[in-house]
């Protein structure tokens, strides 16, 4: 009887000892017995459990799969970072945009999805931002037409023609009114030329980004990632489970 009591006491003490530590499981499968000190947005600070008087270690959250705390709670960090141009989306996230883009959309319907300043050229991109800007510098609106936005290009071209006519009328009048008209026409023509150049570059970039997303949606994406969790036993204890999760995206 005494042996049984001693054995139960030893098991109880071991259980308390194990639960008194935090366990960090890294994505490479390594376990770290630790005492968690701080968890911030990017890092986790801890001390090794077998040396609590030792130095403080720091590990990036991107390296961690799961943290099991001494109180029985878990923090899972099994997130997959976005690839390609993560910041290239406007107010919506990557998955939200991918869910909305479909073949045959008009430029005006998807242009707000993207930030042209974050464009990254990829093999297969159809339009050249440099050519779009250069052509719109030569003839306002020509860059937009070459990118398939004919109506948008005609709008810039008509605006430039109108400004030129206004400037010509002012030069023909010759008095103060003519000088004002000529100055106004010149300023309008300059503004339209600059806007056409900037827009020609933007249209090319955004249309390329839209086509990149269409290609991404049509391709098969296979992801294999480690999976760690726990499930409750009938005895009330928790049993760790590890494996691999497979996801397919078409």
Query: What pTM did the predictor assign?
Result: 0.52
CA-closest candidate to residue 21, choices 69, 63, 83, 67 = 69
- In the chain, CATH 2.30.30.100 sits at 2-79
**Spatial contact of 144 and 203, defined as CB atoms under 8 Å apart:** yes
For residues 78 and 227, the answer to whether their CB atoms sit within 8 Å is: yes
Give residue 245's pLDDT: 62
Separation CA 143–CA 62 (nearest Å): 43
**Structural contact between residues 176 and 187, judged by C-beta atoms closer than 8 angstroms:** no
pLDDT of residue 17: 44
Q: What is the pLDDT of residue 202?
A: 95
What is the per-residue pLDDT for 176? Answer: 86
**Mean model confidence pLDDT for the chain:** 79
Q: How far apart are CA 129 and CA 114, in angstroms?
A: 15
pLDDT digits (tens, 9 = 90+) for 145-167: 999 999 999 999 999 999 999 99
**In CATH, 2-79 is 3.90.650.10:** no
Residue ranges in the chain modelled with pLDDT below 70 = 1-20, 78-95, 219-250
């Amino acid at each position: 009887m005494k042996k049984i009591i001693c054995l139960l006491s030893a098991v109880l003490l071991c259980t308390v000892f194990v639960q008194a530590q935090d366990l960090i499981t890294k994505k490479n499968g390594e376990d770290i017995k630790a005492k968690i000190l701080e968890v911030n947005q990017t890092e986790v600070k801890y001390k090794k459990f077998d040396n609590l008087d030792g130095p403080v270690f720091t590990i990036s959250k991107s390296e961690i799969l799961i943290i099991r705390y001494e109180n029985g709670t878990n923090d899972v960090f099994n997130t997959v970072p976005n690839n390609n141009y993560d910041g290239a989306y406007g107010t919506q996230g990557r998955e939200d945009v991918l869910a909305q883009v479909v073949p045959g959309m008009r430029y005006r319907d998807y242009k707000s999805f993207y930030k042209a300043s974050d464009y990254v050229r990829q093999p297969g991109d159809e339009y050249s931002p440099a050519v779009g800007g250069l052509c719109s510098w030569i003839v306002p609106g020509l860059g937009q037409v070459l990118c398939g936005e004919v109506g948008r290009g005609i709008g810039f071209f008509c605006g430039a023609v109108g400004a030129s006519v206004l400037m010509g009328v002012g030069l023909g009048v010759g008095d103060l009114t003519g000088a004002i008209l000529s100055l106004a026409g010149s300023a309008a023509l300059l503004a339209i030329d600059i806007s056409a150049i900037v827009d020609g570059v933007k249209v090319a970039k955004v249309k390329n980004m839209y086509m990149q997303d269409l290609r991404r949606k049509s391709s098969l994406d296979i992801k294999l990632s480690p999976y760690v969790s726990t499930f409750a036993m009938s005895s009330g204890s928790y049993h760790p489970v590890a494996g691999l999760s497979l996801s397919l995206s078409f």
